[in-house]
Amino acid sequence: MYGPEQWGSLEKFQKFYSSTHSLSDTGKRSVSGAINHFHKAITLQNLAIKLIPNLEEDEKELDQHGFSRAVNSSEISAVIEGIILELYSSLDCTRKVVTEIHSNYQGVPDSTRKYFQNIKKGKIDPNFPEQLIIAVNEATWYNGFRMIRDELTHHDTGRCHKDRDTGKIRYIHSGIKIKKESLIIDDIFEKLNQTFSEVNQFIERVFKYLNTKLNNEPVIQICGIFEGRAYTRFVSPHDATDFHGGVCESYKWFDLEGNPTCKFAAQCGAYNKAKKT
């Protein structure tokens, strides 16, 4: 469970923010929500990929009967739209964390839409952190993403079909208009991959900055759970760079006779440091 090499900036912030910020319940849920919504979007994307072959059933029904109920098209479209909504929710939770931590600045609204608008229009406290302003200004994709998300919350499900020549999955939603034309995305999975990357880069930039402002105080971390016992260490944010960071806490009991030792003790720098103190 302790693997800094595999954490992104958001995961690291979740592990260590308690030593610096006393977030409200909403703030705490926003931190976990930023992670969980993103992970849910990944799960839904994997599901959508599994559903692609089912689109052939709609084609067969069309060829055989001259019409199709497009049940499989609706199913994969609903999953795709769920991905978009989950990614926006992850973005929204990220903004809520920023809003709570920086509530003392003027022009920081409790609205993701207005947060982006205020920063892009310069309607924000001049002392607001520059890195957070850069993160918004570089998110040139936000308005288009937000518009689609807004429309999806009010409209029925779109539809997908597989192009017989290219094999790409085209997504169409007649209820969403772009310059008075129905929304058509010729390769929806390419678009989703792009959106994942854009949202992830924004979140990474925000929490990378927030991590630089954390107090460098040791926080207890669970290394892992073995045979029903939790093994822990104390480690500070700056020291959490690899598996060897911090100082083992659990050696005080697992070194005692009759207790199961940590399976990684022999090669763990945190254990070695604890034994030397």
State how far the Cα of 175 lies from the Cα of 109, in Å rounded to an integer: 30
Q: For residue 167, give the DSSP letter.
A: -
Q: Which residues, other chains included, contact 82 with Cβ-Cβ below 8 Å and sequence gap of 6+?
A: 41, 44
Q: Is the pLDDT of residue 267 over 80?
A: yes
Residue 131: closest CA among 220, 39, 204? 204
Q: Given this model, what pLDDT does residue 68 score?
A: 67
* Phi, psi values for residue 202, rounded to 5°: -65, -50
As a whole number, the mean pLDDT across the chain is 93
Residue 243: closest CA among 271, 213, 210, 274? 271
The model's pLDDT over 27-86, given as tens digits with 9 standing for 90+, comes to 999 999 999 999 999 999 999 999 999 988 878 877 777 776 778 899 999 999 999 999
Lowest mean pLDDT, pick from 26-35, 63-72, 226-235, 257-266: 63-72
- Range 20-33 average pLDDT: 97
The model's pLDDT over 120-154, given as tens digits with 9 standing for 90+, comes to 999 999 999 999 999 999 999 999 999 999 989 88
Band (178; pLDDT cuts 50, 70, 90): confident
Chain position carrying tokens 């992670």 = 35
Residue type at position 30: S
* Phi, psi values for residue 234, rounded to 5°: -105, 130
Q: Is the pLDDT of residue 95 over 70?
A: yes
Please count the other Cβ atoms lying within 10 Å of the Cβ belonging to residue 208: 16
Q: Given this model, what pLDDT does residue 174 score?
A: 86
> 61 near 138, Cβ under 8 Å?
no
**Region for 248 from its dihedrals, namely left if φ exceeds 0, alpha if ψ lies in -120 to 50, beta otherwise:** beta
State how far the Cα of 172 lies from the Cα of 142, in Å rounded to an integer: 20
State how far the Cα of 195 lies from the Cα of 222, in Å rounded to an integer: 33
State how far the Cα of 31 lies from the Cα of 19, in Å rounded to an integer: 15
Measured in Å, how far apart are the chain's first and last C-alpha atoms? 25
To the nearest 10°, the Cα dihedral for 172, 177, 181, 182?
20
**Does the CA dihedral 19-22-25-31 come out positive or negative?**
negative
The three-class DSSP label of residue 187 is coil
Report the DSSP beta bridge partners of residue 162. 169
